[in-house]
Amino acid sequence: MQLTSSVPTLGGGDRPGEDAAYHKDPDVALARMAAIQEARERQQRLLEEASARALREQKEREERKRAEVMEKLKKLEENGGHKLGAGAGDDYLPLSGGASTSSYRPPKRSACARGGCGG
């Protein structure tokens, strides 16, 4: 009768003799740990580079947006800005419900719906 370990392993079930090799030769275990540490450092470095790049791009976007706003303000100053009430004609009456708008009117109710048109 063979007992199995109740401790879950990550990917260790493919090569059962590999664990024995690590226990017999400590250099193999140290090499494995060094490789894992190197991979972690590489991933951390990539994450930091991506974070720095994203921060730099965000600052560039903000700077471009700020420059656009400053350019718009400069154009407004040159043109004299906006005056309240100007631009809309005298014939502009927003609450009058002009000819271009129509209101919803429900259809006329028929007696046929209640069965009164058959006779």
Per-residue pLDDT tens over the stretch 42-63: 999 999 999 999 999 999 999 9
The answer to whether the beta carbons of residues 100 and 106 sit under 8 Å apart is no
Q: How many CB atoms lie within 10 A of CB 57?
A: 10
**The model's pTM:** 0.44
Residues 6+ positions from 111 with CB-CB distance below 8 Å: 117
Residue 4: pLDDT band with limits 50, 70, 90: low
Residue 109: pLDDT band with limits 50, 70, 90: confident
Domain boundaries, the chain: 16-79
- Residue among 28, 27, 95 at smallest CA distance from 15: 28
Looking at the predicted structure, is the pLDDT value of residue 16 above 70? no
- DSSP of 47-80, one letter per residue? HHHHHHHHHHHHHHHHHHHHHHHHHHHHHHHHHT
> Average pLDDT for residues 74-92, to the nearest whole number?
73
> What pLDDT score does 43 carry?
98
> What pLDDT score does 106 carry?
80
> What pLDDT score does 58 carry?
98
